[in-house]
Amino acid sequence: MLSSADFQNRLIRYMPEQKPEKPDKAEKDAMIAEIRRLLKEKNAVLITHYYTDPEIQKLAEETGGFIGDSLEMARFGAGHSAETLVIVGVRFMGESAKILSPQKTILMPSLEAECSLDIGCEPEEFRSFCEQNSDRTVVVYANTSAAVKALADWTVTSSIAVDVVKHLAQKGEKIIWAPDRFLGDYIKRNTNADMLLWNAYCIVHAEFDAAKIEELKQIHSDAEVLVHPESQPEVIALADVVGSTSQLLKASQQRSARKFIVATETGILYKMQQASPEKEFIFAPTSSVSSGISCEADCPWMKMNTLQNLLEVLQSFNNRIELPDDVIKRALIPLERMVNFRK
Binding site for ligand SF4 (CB under 6 A): 51, 90, 115-117, 143, 202-205, 265, 299, 301-302
β-partners of residue 226 are 241, 262
Residue 142 CA, distance from chain mean position:
8
β-partners of residue 11 are none
Toward ligand SF4, which CB reaches closer, 105 or 291?
291
**CB-CB contact of 108 with 87 (8 Å):** yes
Residue 302's φ and ψ, nearest 5 degrees, are -60, -35
Toward ligand SF4, which CB reaches closer, 144 or 252?
144
Q: Report d(CA 182, CA 199) in Å as an integer.
A: 9
Toward ligand SF4, which CB reaches closer, 116 or 305?
116
Q: Report d(CA 260, CA 325) in Å as an integer.
A: 46
46, containing H or E segment: strand 44-49
- Beta strands 175-178 and 84-88 are unpaired
How would you label 287-320 residue by residue, b for 16+ Cβ within 10 Å and e otherwise? eebebebebebbbbbbbbbbbbbbbebbeeeebe
Toward ligand SF4, which CB reaches closer, 77 or 229?
229
Toward ligand SF4, which CB reaches closer, 126 or 136?
126
Closest approach, Cβ 264 to ligand SF4, in A, equals 8
Closest approach, Cβ 205 to ligand SF4, in A, equals 6
Closest approach, Cβ 228 to ligand SF4, in A, equals 9
7, containing H or E segment: helix 4-14
Toward ligand SF4, which CB reaches closer, 31 or 89?
89
